[in-house]
Amino acid sequence: MRYKILVTGGAGYLGSVLVPELLKLGHKVTVLDTFMFGQNSLLECCANNNFDVIRGDAREEDTLKSILKNMDYIIPLAALVGAPLCGRDNIGTITTNKDAIVSLTKLASKEQRIIYPCTNSGYGVGQQGIYCTEETPLKPISLYGIAKVEAEKALLDRGNSISLRLATVFGMSLRMRIDLLVNDFTYRAVKDRFVVVFEGHFKRNYIHIRDVARAFIHAIDNFDAMKNESYNVGLSDANLSKLELCAKIKEQVPSFVYLEAPIGEDPDKRDYIVSNEKIERAGFKPVYSLEMGIKELIKGYRIITNSKYSNV
């Protein structure tokens, strides 16, 4: 089947990978984006007759109403992403990450299908040695996590929706973000050769950006079997502490030195391990390992330096 798909925020870190993949499959894709970072990541898509792009804000109901007509799927990627950026703009975070999604639930018809990128940061601080599943109570500890969790609830209450709770994403994108943990630590290994780690025992789960795009496509292809549920999306063999992540990077950058600070705190207090068994039972398996992503990032950082390639 070929579908008409609206992707809000489609020129961002994830959308810049997902949109070309959707076009390759023959879908008609319309992107709504403010281009707030001045990115040009979708220029190559402009030659595709199945691609359309609108410069606008996903919070504007009149704009959404005019675009939503005849869409089969809606993928609302538009968001202020990450605790630091959200901390700088509380109002923008609430209106974009939550209110715009609530508005979408009212404007979209009941027949239109929504696939939403939530975050597994909603688990906050987990219990040591116990995997967070989709049944684990959500206890977000940042405004970013709170807004995303509330938006997820609105969508699942609405029905005809799927929520993908993404692990910490890594990998190269045409709209690059260096402020994500794997991307950041690998950048420091390549450019600075060292990093000082705060609270290095804190654990997280990770997922390659191309596997995230594959998860969205899997959800489209298996929507009826997966709808009205949330799914953790991560690498089951990559529930790693920050120090364990550094060791993985050092395997490929031998000159990398990492030290754990004896004092000081990480403002990001997330610490949890995650089970991805549910989406694996639904037929989805990642194909990009953490090692593959680090190798890719090393090559990418020979090309770019950190100026405009991060959210903060």
| 134 domain residue, yes or no | yes
| 284 domain residue, yes or no | no
Q: Tell me which residue of 195, 285, 211, 273 sits closest to 238, measured CA to CA.
A: 273
Residue-wise pLDDT tens digits, 208-237: 999 999 999 999 999 999 999 999 999 999
Range of the domain at 214: 4-170+207-233
Residue-wise pLDDT tens digits, 137-193: 999 989 999 999 999 999 999 999 999 999 999 999 999 999 999 999 999 999 999
| 184 domain residue, yes or no | no
Residue-wise pLDDT tens digits, 247-305: 999 999 999 999 999 888 887 888 999 999 999 999 999 999 999 999 999 999 999 98
| 311 domain residue, yes or no | no
| 35 domain residue, yes or no | yes
CATH of the domain at 21: 3.40.50.720
Number of domains in the chain: 1
| 72 domain residue, yes or no | yes
pTM of the predicted structure, to 2 decimals: 0.95
| 195 domain residue, yes or no | no
| 33 domain residue, yes or no | yes
